[in-house]
């Protein structure tokens, strides 16, 4: 029996799946983010070690045929931890955009990825390009951090009576245990301030669903930001030259459906013939599909088995639309 390992990690989570040649999951574990720009490297090492040890405990796997991964990290902490504990024949890295395209059963496309951060990935036969994704200071417009930061700023403006009144004011202040807007300054001094700010999206999502106008507007603007980046990508490609579809992926989209609806309307206004879709699976399964594709196994041949065996990783559209 041959065994394989897939990993997907970003700013807030890390998923690992150990599976066999029959596409049967042996074990799966989930941990927190792996991006060293958002977390101390020593902490990443500690968490990766614990997670890999959890994955390999009580399983009789001594050799990994191939380790495929998509990690928002420039360091090899996870790869090194895995290699220290089990023999790995091959390690293959895929970008976030590649795994999303694969998880949609496609070979090419444009990915509108909005998770903690945001990127638009262009993968065409003769063009590979990333738009946005410049980090929390210079970019990531429309991602979770951006939504969280705008929510905190809106709460401050509401408190100081220099912006529209919003329920975000009370909710944000209660979350961080403050009574005055100036106390929120300490947020940016914390090591995990990116996670703290991104976590505010849960509040924004809840209040948007309850009809808070400011929270709704934040999600609508996030949709516009993502559409602006995608429209630029389509301008570079040329609508008639696009191979594949525009694929929407990432957790930020699931916060409130006005984000997707605004995005869809804005893109379609400029490019009415472009197809917009969701992936079948979460990106980690894209690592599995990409590995199979590289060995000549077409997606349609394994689609049914993947849906059955990786049912817990089907992309949950919820009420996005």
d(CA 271, CA 231) in angstroms, rounded, equals 8
CA-based nearest residue to 122, from 222, 241, 219: 241
- The first and second tokens of residue 44, run together, are 């990443």
159 vs 163, 187, 205, 212, CA distance in Å?
8, 17, 20, 15
Per-residue pLDDT reduced to its tens digit, 54-101:
999 999 899 999 999 999 877 789 999 999 999 999 999 998 899 999
- Find out whether 272 and 266 touch, Cβ atoms under 8 Å: no
- How is residue 55 annotated by DSSP? H
d(CA 321, CA 312) in angstroms, rounded, equals 21
Per-residue pLDDT reduced to its tens digit, 108-142:
999 999 988 899 999 999 999 999 888 777 878 99
Contacts of 201 (CB under 8 A, 6+ apart): 144, 147, 148, 151, 252, 255
Residue 13 pLDDT more than 90?
no
d(CA 310, CA 57) in angstroms, rounded, equals 21
pLDDT at 18: 97
Per-residue pLDDT reduced to its tens digit, 303-314:
999 999 999 999
Is the pTM for the entire model greater than 0.85? yes
CA-based nearest residue to 20, from 61, 51, 52: 61
- Find out whether 197 and 145 touch, Cβ atoms under 8 Å: yes
Mapping DSSP to helix (H, G, I), strand (E, B) and coil, where does residue 21 land? coil
- Find out whether 132 and 119 touch, Cβ atoms under 8 Å: yes
Provide the 10 A C-beta neighbour count for residue 157: 18
Per-residue pLDDT reduced to its tens digit, 145-201:
999 999 999 999 999 999 999 999 999 999 999 999 998 888 777 766 778 898 999
d(CA 171, CA 279) in angstroms, rounded, equals 33
* Band of residue 35 on the pLDDT scale cut at 50, 70, 90: confident
Query: Which one has a higher pLDDT value, 272 or 41?
Result: 272
Domains and CATH numbers, the chain: 3-102+281-313 (3.30.420.40), 106-278 (3.30.420.40)
DSSP-derived secondary structure for 269-293: HH-TT--EE--SB-HHHHHHHHHHH
Residue 321 pLDDT more than 70?
no
pLDDT at 148: 95
Residue 53 pLDDT more than 80?
yes
Q: How far apart are the first and last CA of the chain?
A: 42
Per-residue pLDDT reduced to its tens digit, 204-229:
999 999 999 999 999 999 999 999 99
pLDDT at 191: 63
Contacts of 204 (CB under 8 A, 6+ apart): 147, 148, 151, 168, 215, 218, 219, 255, 256
Residue 279 pLDDT more than 80?
yes
d(CA 203, CA 207) in angstroms, rounded, equals 6
DSSP-derived secondary structure for 113-176: EESSSEEEEEEETTEEEEEE--HHHH--TTSHHHHHHHHHHHHHHHHTTSS---THHHHHHHHH
Compute the mean pLDDT over every residue in the chain, rounded to the nearest whole number.
92
Question: What's the average model confidence in pLDDT over 254-271?
Answer: 96
């Amino acid at each position: 029996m041959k065994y394989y390992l897939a990993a997907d990690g970003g700013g807030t989570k890390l998923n690992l799946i150990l599976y066999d040649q029959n596409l049967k999951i042996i074990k799966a574990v989930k941990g927190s983010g792996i991006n060293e720009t958002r977390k101390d490297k020593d902490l990443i090492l500690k968490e990766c070690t614990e997670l890999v040890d959890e994955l390999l405990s009580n399983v009789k796997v001594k050799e990994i045929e191939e380790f495929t991964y998509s990690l928002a990290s420039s360091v090899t902490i996870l790869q090194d931890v895995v290699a220290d504990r089990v023999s790995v024949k091959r390690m293959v890295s895929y970008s976030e955009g590649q795994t999303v395209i694969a998880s949609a059963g496609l070979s090419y496309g444009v990915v509108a990825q909005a998770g903690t951060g945001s990127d638009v990935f262009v993968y065409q036969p003769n063009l590979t390009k990333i738009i946005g994704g410049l980090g929390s200071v210079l970019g990531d417009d429309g991602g979770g951090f951006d939504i969280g930061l705008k929510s905190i700023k809106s709460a401050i403006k509401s408190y100081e009576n220099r912006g529209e009144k919003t329920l975000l004011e009370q909710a944000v202040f209660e979350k961080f245990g403050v009574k005055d807007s100036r106390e929120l300054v300490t947020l940016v001094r914390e090591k995990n301030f990116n996670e703290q700010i991104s976590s505010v999206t849960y509040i924004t999502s809840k209040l948007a669903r309850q009809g808070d106008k400011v929270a709704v507007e934040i999600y609508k603007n996030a949709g516009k930001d993502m559409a602006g980046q995608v429209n630029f990508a389509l301008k570079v490609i040329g609508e008639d030259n696009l191979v594949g579809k525009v694929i929407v992926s990432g957790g930020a989209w699931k916060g409130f459906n006005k984000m997707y609806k605004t995005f869809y309307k804005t893109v379609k206004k400029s490019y009415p013939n472009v197809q917009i879709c969701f992936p079948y699976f979460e990106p980690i399964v894209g690592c599995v599909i990409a590995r199979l594709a590289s060995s000549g196994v077409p997606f349609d041949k394994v689609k049914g088995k993947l849906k059955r065996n990786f049912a817990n990783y089907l992309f949950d559209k919820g009420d996005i639309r």
